[in-house]
Structure 1
Amino acid sequence: MRSFTTRRSVLRAFAVAGAVALGGLSALAPATATAQPFPTKPITIIVPFSAGGTTDILARIVGQYLGTKFGESVVIENRDGAGGNIGMQLAARAKPDGYTLFMGTVGTHAINEHLYGNLKFDPRKDFQPLTRVAMVPNLLVVNPERPYRSVQELIEYAKAHPGEVTFASSGNGSSIHLSGELFKQLAGVDMLHVPYRGSAPAVTDLLGGQVDIMFDNMPSAIQHVRSGTLVPLAVTPSKRSSELPEIPTVAEAGVPGYEATSWFGMFAPAGTPDDIVKLLNEAIVEALHDPEVVEKFTAQGAEVYSETPESFAQFIEAENEKWSAVVKASGARVN
C-alpha cells in the first residue's frame, strides 16, 4: 500500500511539473470555470392573449423552431386579460436570464401606455426588444349592401351623412379601433365607433348589417372577402398585400399618409445579458428565414419580418409617437 501511494505521489508531481511547463497551474483549472451554455432548461414564451389568436399562433410557430434548434422545450404560456397587460406585467417581473420571453404587439408596446391609466410596469423601460417577427395588414371591409365600393365613395358618403357610418372594432383602444380613428382624422370624416368584445362578434354583426364597415386583421377578414360576403375597399399598410394584390392601399385610394399595420415582436425582460440577447436575436431571425416558418406565417396572412434589437427599439419609439397622437385625438381611455 505504501509503495502504491509513493508511486502515485511521484506521478502527480510529474503531472504538475508538466502542467507548469505547458503554461502554469491554470492549465489544471476545472472545466466548470468556463461560461455555461445557453439554454440548459426549458424556455417560456408568455403570450398576453388567449390561445388560437394571431399572437398565439405566431408565437407557437417560432417556439417550435427554437425548441428544435436548442434541443430544449419551449413552453407557450397564455396569460390574457386587460388588453395584454396581465401577461405583460408577469413578463416584466420575470428573471432577466433569457428563459422567459414575451410575444408583444402594437397594442402592448405602442398603444396601451397611452390608453391605460396606472400601469404597474413600463412597456418600454421594462422590456428588451429582440426582433419584430411579423407584420399583419388590416383590411377595410364593408357590408355588401352598403352603397360604397371604393374609399372615395365611402368618404363622400360619410361627409354627406356625418356620424351615420358605423365602424366596428374588437374593442376600445385595439389596433382595429385606432385604424378607424386614424382614417377619420386623415380623411376628415365623422364616423361612429362601435366596440365589441373581440373581432369575431364584430365581424358577425358586420356580416349581418348591424354595422357598416370594419378595419379588421386580414387573417379573420380574408375568408369573407374570398367568399364574397364582405367587400374589400383597401388594405392599411403602405404597400399592397401579396394575398390580395388587386386591392389598393388606403393611401393609394385617396387618403395620403395613411398607414396602419398590426405588428408582432419578441421581447425579453430588461436587464437580460447582452450575449443572451444576441444569441436569441440570431436564433429567432434564423427561424424567420426558414422556408417552413415563412410558409406557416403566410398562411396566417402575416408577412415575416426580422431585424436587430436596436432597429426594433427605434421602431417602437416611432410607433409610440404615432399612436399616442391617435389615442389622444380619439379620446379613448381605459382605467
Structure 2
Amino acid sequence: MKSIRFGLVALALALLSGHAVAQSYPTHPVKILVTIPPGGAPDIAARLLAQRMSETIGSSFFVENRSGANGNVAADAIAKGDPDGYTLIVAADSLLTINPHVYPSLPYDPLKDLLPVSSIASNQFFLSVNPTLPVKTVPELVEYAKKAKPPLPYASGGNGSQHQLGIEMLKQRAGIDLLHVPYRGGAPAGMATVAGETMVVLAGASNAGLLRGGQLRGLATTGTKRSPLFPELPPIADYYPGYDLTIWIGLFAPPATPEPIVTKLRNEVQKILKDQDFQQKLNVTGALEPLILSPQDFSALIKRDYDKYGKLVRDVGVKIQ
C-alpha cells in the first residue's frame, strides 16, 4: 500500500514539475532548423512562424538553415538533440515519408526519432512548362509528349524529390515518357526550365514569381483543388481522377521532449495559424495554406503518406546511394 502511495506521489510530483517547466519555457532563444536553403516553402513557413512566436511568447525564436542530403543532416541533429524544446525542426513531409524509402540506410528512424509537435501548412505544386512549348493545358501536354522524340526533359529538385515523384505519377496515369533531369532544389529546377535546359517542371513556392512573370506557363495544380494563388489553374485530378500531390509542412522536436512543452508549442502554433493576418502572409509569401490537425490526425497523415510514397518509390525504382 505504501509503495502504491509513493508511486502516486512521485507521479504527481513529476506532472507538477513538467507543468512548471512548460510555464517557464522558454527561458532562452529557441533554434528552428530548416532542411533547405532560404526561399523554399518550409523556410518561408519557419521564418513567419518564428517571427510571430517571438512576439507572442516573448522569447526569441530564430531559423537556421541546415541543408544537406535531402534534409537528413538536420533531421539527424534533431533525432540526437537534447529533448528540452530549444532545438526544433520545420520540415516538409518528404523528410518522413519519402527519404526512408529512397535511402538504403539512415542514421535515424524518421517515424520514431522525430516527435510531431504540430502541422503547419499545406502546399501544392504547379505543373509548368517553358513558354516556348506549344501547350496550354494538361491534355495538350500529354498529346505533345506522346509524339516527342526524344522525350521531353523535365526538371526536379533531385532524385527522390516530390518534384520527380509527382511527374512520375503523371507519367503513369497519362502513359507518357519524359526524361528526368535532377537539380539541387526546386528553385534551380525552375530556372533550368526557364532557360530551356528542360521543358517541364513542378513549380513550387520558390518559383511562384516565375509563374506570375510569365517565365513559366502554369498548366495545372497537383492538389485536389484549385490554389488561391493561381485559381485559373485546374487540378491534374480533373483529367486523371485520384491524382494528388499535396505537400505538408510540420514542426518536430527531439524524441522524449516533455509533453507539457510539446503541448505548449502546439497550442501556440495552432493559435497563430488561426489568425487571418498570418494566414494571408502564408498565402501571399509562399502559396501556403494553414493546416490545423489534431495530434491523432497529424500522425495518421504521416503514416498514410509514408505508405503512399513507399509504393510509388518501389514502382518507379528510385534509390539514392
- Tell me the equivalent position of 1:214: 201
TM-score normalized by the length of structure 2: 0.88
- Tell me the equivalent position of 1:19: none
Instruction: Give the Cα–Cα distance (whole angstroms) in 2 for the partners of residues 298 and 231 of structure 1.
Output: 20
Instruction: Give the Cα–Cα distance (whole angstroms) in 1 for the partners of residues 293 and 317 of structure 2.
Output: 33
- Tell me the equivalent position of 2:160: 173
Match for 1:266 among 247, 251, 261? 251
Moved more, 233-242 or 64-73: 64-73
Letter in 1 for 2:254: P
Match for 1:92 among 74, 79, 90? 79
Q: Is the 8 A contact 2:18 2:258 kept in 1?
A: no
Q: What secondary structure sits across from 2:307 in the alignment?
A: helix
Instruction: Give the Cα–Cα distance (whole angstroms) in 1 for the partners of residues 40 and 68 of structure 2.
Output: 13
Aligned alpha-carbon RMSD (Å): 2.0
Asked if 1:196 is matched to 2:183, the reply is yes
**1:228-249 alpha-carbon deviations (Å, 9 max, x no partner):** 2322110000000111111100
Letter in 2 for 1:72: S
Match for 2:303 among 317, 328, 334? 317
Q: What secondary structure sits across from 1:167 in the alignment?
A: strand
Point out 4+ residue stretches in structure 1 off by more than 4 angstroms.
31-34
Instruction: Give the Cα–Cα distance (whole angstroms) in 1 for the partners of residues 164 and 99 of structure 2.
Output: 13
Specify the structure having the higher radius of gyration (Cα). Answer: 1
Instruction: Give the Cα–Cα distance (whole angstroms) in 1 for the partners of residues 114 and 297 of structure 2.
Output: 15
Listed as ranges, the gaps of 5+ residues in structure 1 are 1-30
Q: What secondary structure sits across from 2:194 in the alignment?
A: helix
**1:240-268 alpha-carbon deviations (Å, 9 max, x no partner):** 0111111100011x111111122211011
Instruction: Give the Cα–Cα distance (whole angstroms) in 1 for the partners of residues 109 and 165 of structure 2.
Output: 21
Letter in 2 for 1:268: A
Asked if 1:227 is matched to 2:213, the reply is yes
Give the length in aligned residue pairs.
303
Q: Is the 8 A contact 2:187 2:207 kept in 1?
A: no
Letter in 1 for 2:129: V
- Tell me the equivalent position of 1:247: 233
Q: What secondary structure sits across from 2:120 in the alignment?
A: strand
CA offset at residue 332 of structure 1?
Answer: 1.6
Instruction: Give the Cα–Cα distance (whole angstroms) in 1 for the partners of residues 217 and 142 of structure 2.
Output: 16
Instruction: Give the Cα–Cα distance (whole angstroms) in 2 for the partners of residues 239 and 108 of structure 1.
Output: 24
CA offset at residue 33 of structure 1?
Answer: 11
**1:129-159 alpha-carbon deviations (Å, 9 max, x no partner):** 1221111210011112223221112222223
Percent identity over paired residues: 38
- Tell me the equivalent position of 2:3: none
Instruction: Give the Cα–Cα distance (whole angstroms) in 1 for the partners of residues 180 and 223 of structure 2.
Output: 21
Instruction: Give the Cα–Cα distance (whole angstroms) in 1 for the partners of residues 39 and 140 of structure 2.
Output: 36
Instruction: Give the Cα–Cα distance (whole angstroms) in 2 for the partners of residues 328 and 210 of structure 1.
Output: 28
Asked if 1:280 is matched to 2:280, the reply is no
- Tell me the equivalent position of 1:28: none
